[in-house]
Amino acid sequence: MRILIVEDEPRLAKLLCRAMEEARHSADCVHDGRAGLERARTGEYDLLILDWLLPGLDGLSLCRTLREEPGSAGAVPILMLTARDAVSDRVAGLDAGADDYLTKPFSLEELGARVRALERRIVRPLRQAEEAHEMEAGGLRFDPELRTVRRPGSGEEVRLTVREAAVLECFLRHPGQVLSRGQILRQAWDDPQVVGEQTVDSVVYLLRRKLEPLEPGFSIRSVRGLGYRLDPGGRE
Ligand code: CA
């Protein structure tokens, strides 16, 4: 993959760059937010590794701004690096459009695992592109390749992050079933041992907020003590 690293700490930046190159990726590194945004806007990258606290433009604003861009620049998977680990910070990061986050300090093994997981999420849909078709979610249509959900006939459409799409897919593959947080983690994350079950709650929260306004009957219900169940809405 072609990876852009936006990290202002020179030693860490160098370390990340070397680790990515050892994993046979090509990596470019910039040290402030504005330069990062400029580079990312070229749409030439397969993945962004983005620090939260940056001079010029912080990672959260960069992420949000980039998500407004059309085409491949706006859709690029983003792994956010952060020293913050409160649930609200995590939600803020995912909400700004990050696909995953890693809390500092982290090991290079952990970073490698997250990058591989995101790669699988990107490469797999591309390989399946020929046979890719929309999945039905009650009154909504989900395109796993483009990661978009639309309401037929209305022109309304939202784009999901890699993680949101993986969680939605998980529900759609098990219609009517209650899924535990553990089951969702195992199916939607390739390395479930490094993320907590609260992450599932955060992603479900974001999915609800994006999809419920599109289709009034759509909801992801909490089933107390068990997990979640998708009620797709739409016509019976
Ligand atoms: Ca920093």
CA of 163 to the centre of ligand 1 (A): 24
Tokens read off for 157 = 């459409």
pLDDT in tens, the chain (236 residues): 899 999 999 999 999 999 999 999 999 999 999 999 999 999 889 899 999 999 999 999 999 999 888 777 888 889 999 887 777 777 788 888 898 889 999 999 999 999 998 887 764 554 454 345 788 877 788 988 888 898 887 878 899 988 899 999 989 888 778 999 998 998 888 776 767 788 899 999 999 999 988 888 888 999 988 999 988 776 54
Tokens read off for 133 = 């078709």
CA of 228 to the centre of ligand 1 (A): 36
The CATH number of residue 65's host domain is 3.40.50.2300
Separation CA 185–CA 26 (nearest Å): 29
Whether 126 is in a domain gets the answer no
Amino acid identity for residue 169 in this structure: E
Statement to judge: residues 164 and 91 lie in one domain: no
Separation CA 178–CA 10 (nearest Å): 47
Statement to judge: residues 10 and 93 lie in one domain: yes
CA of 199 to the centre of ligand 1 (A): 23
CA of 17 to the centre of ligand 1 (A): 15
CA of 84 to the centre of ligand 1 (A): 11
pLDDT at 132: 53
CA of 227 to the centre of ligand 1 (A): 36
- The tally of domains found in the chain comes to 2
The residues facing 27 across adjacent strands are 3
CA of 131 to the centre of ligand 1 (A): 42
pLDDT at 127: 43
Counting Cα atoms < 13 Å in the Cβ hemisphere of 184 gives 30
Amino acid identity for residue 141 in this structure: R
CA of 32 to the centre of ligand 1 (A): 9
**Whole-number Cα distances in Å, 227 to 33, 123, 136:** 38, 29, 22
pLDDT at 192: 66
Evaluate whether 181 touches 227 at the Cβ level (below 8 Å): yes
Evaluate whether 28 touches 39 at the Cβ level (below 8 Å): yes
- The H or E element that residue 126 is part of is helix 108-127
CA of 20 to the centre of ligand 1 (A): 19
CA of 76 to the centre of ligand 1 (A): 21
Whether 236 is in a domain gets the answer no
Whether 127 is in a domain gets the answer no
The CATH number of residue 222's host domain is 1.10.10.10
CA of 91 to the centre of ligand 1 (A): 19
The helix/strand/coil state of 159 is strand
Tokens read off for 52 = 């939260």
Statement to judge: residues 63 and 87 lie in one domain: yes
Statement to judge: residues 75 and 162 lie in one domain: no
Statement to judge: residues 105 and 12 lie in one domain: yes
Separation CA 42–CA 112 (nearest Å): 25
CA of 224 to the centre of ligand 1 (A): 39
Task: Determine how many CB atoms are found less than 10 A away from the CB of residue 74.
Answer: 16
- Domain ranges, residue 136: 132-231
Statement to judge: residues 112 and 143 lie in one domain: no
Using the 3D structure, point to which of 118, 141, 167 is the last residue of a domain: 118
What phi and psi, each to the nearest 5 degrees, are found at residue 139? -80, 5
Statement to judge: residues 114 and 147 lie in one domain: no
Separation CA 121–CA 46 (nearest Å): 11
pLDDT at 232: 76
Using the 3D structure, point to which of 90, 118, 146 is the last residue of a domain: 118
CA of 234 to the centre of ligand 1 (A): 45
Statement to judge: residues 8 and 111 lie in one domain: yes
CA of 130 to the centre of ligand 1 (A): 41
Whether 193 is in a domain gets the answer yes
Separation CA 144–CA 164 (nearest Å): 11
Counting Cα atoms < 13 Å in the Cβ hemisphere of 26 gives 4
pLDDT at 130: 39
